[in-house]
Chains A and B, each alone.
Chain A
Amino acid sequence: MRFDSLLDSVGRTPLVGLPRLSPSPDVRLWAKLEDRNPTGSIKDRAAVAMILQAEKDGLLTPGATLLEPTSGNTGISLAMVARQRGYRLVCVMPENTSRERTQLLEAWGATIVPSPAAGGSNEAVRVAKELHAENPDWVMLYQYGNAANAQAHYDTTGPELLADLPTITHFVAGLGTTGTLMGVGRFLREAKPDVSIVAAQPRYGELVYGLRNLDEGFVPELYDASVLTTRYSVGGRDALRRTRELLDVEGIFAGVSTGAILHAALAMAAKADAAGRQADIAFVVCDGGWKYLSTGAYEGTLDSAEEALDGQLWA
C-alpha cells in the first residue's frame, strides 16, 4: 500500500476474526485493529478530520496554537497532525494518566498542562475552558462537541466495517467523547436498521469520580442516546481480565480500554448464542498495549494489576 503522506495512511485498518474467543461458528467476534493507525490509536481518524475541517472553515492560520483537553490518545493524534500542518499544540491532561502518554505527547512536540487527578477528564475540560478564556486566539477543536469527530467515523470507520462485514449484527465500542459510537452507529443504522450499537463505558476507581457536586458531571455535546441500543459500565478488573484473555487466546496485544469493550462484546455473544441467533459482532481495538506497560497491566496477578490501575485514567 502506497500513500502520499502519513496523514493519507490513516484508516483502512484490518478487521480480524477471533476464532477461539467466538462461542460458535454462528456467533462470531471480529476485532477492528485501530492500533494500526500512525500514532497507534483510533483517535488519528478524529484528529485528522477535525484539523482538516478547521482549515476548511478558515479557523486555522499558519502558526496557530491548538488547545485540547485530553486523557492522552486524542492529544497524541492531534500532536502528530499539528506538527505536519505547522501548528503548536497545548494539551490539558489529567495527571493520573500513564507515563507513556506524557512521553509520547512530548515526543510529537506538544506542551502539556496538567490538570488535577481528582475529577479526571471533567477537570481537564474545565481547565482547558479557563485557558481558552485567557487565550482567546488559541483554537480549541474540542473533541467532545466537534461534529467532525463523529463525522470521521461516519465517513470512514462505518463504511469500512460494512464493506468487510456485510453481515454485521452488532458494533461495540468505548464511550468517551462518543464520536466513534455516534458516527459508526448512525452510518450502520442507515444501512442496517436492526444493527445493535453497544457502548462500553469504563468504570474507573473512585478518585476519578471525585467531583464536588453531581451538577459538575459531564455529558459530551456529541452524545445522542437514541443512536445506542444499550450501554454497559465495565470496571477495571473485568477490563484487565479481558485484555489478558485477548492476548493469551488470540495473540492481540491491546490497551486496557479494549478489554472493557471486549467484555461487553462477549456479553452480546453469549446472549446471541443462548438465544440460538446468528451474530457477527465487530468491536474496536482502540490502541495497542504499549502505552500501558508501565501501569503493570500485563504482569503479576490480576489483583496486583487491579490495585495498580485504581485511580488511573486507563481509557
Chain B
Amino acid sequence: MAVEVRVPTILRTYTGGEKSVTVDGDSVAAVIKDLDANYPGIGDRLLDDSGLRRFVNVYLNDEDVRFLQGLDTPVADKDAITILPAVAGG
C-alpha cells in the first residue's frame, strides 16, 4: 500500500532532504515502521515508549491521528500522512 508521508524540515536530514517520501503500511504504526526501515533513526524521533512523542503531531489526510485510533489508525492506499512539530498560536 503506497502512502505519501510529508516530512517536516527538521527531519529531512534522515530523508536526504526529501520533503515527501512514499512508504508502505496499513496502519500509522506500520507506516512509521516502514519509514524507519527506509530512513533509519527517524522512527525514534517520532515515537517513545508511550507512543507518539509529545511535540510530534501526525495527521492522516489532515485529521490528527490522536483523535482517530492513534498508531492503530488504518491507512489506505493513496492516503497522505503529514508529520508536524507542535507550534504555538495566538
Contacts and interface: CB of A to CB of B under 8 A. Distances in A.
Interface in A197-218: 201-204, 206, 208-218
Contact of B64 (A70, A210, A233): A233
Nearest to B85: A217
B86 A217 contact: yes
Contact of B87 (A43, A218, A230, A232): A218
Interface in A21-62: 43
A148 interface: no
Contacts, number: 101
Contacts of A122: 87-88
Interface string A216-246: 1111100001001111111100000000000
A211 B90 contact: no
A211 B85 contact: yes
Interface residues of B, number: 25
B62 interface: yes
A176 B86 contact: no
A233 B62 CA distance: 5
Given A212-B10, A233-B82, A217 B63 contact: no
Interface of A: 43, 69-71, 73-74, 120-122, 124-125, 143-144, 174-177, 179, 201-204, 206, 208-220, 225, 228-235, 315
Interface of B: 8-11, 45, 53-57, 59, 62-64, 66-68, 82, 84-90
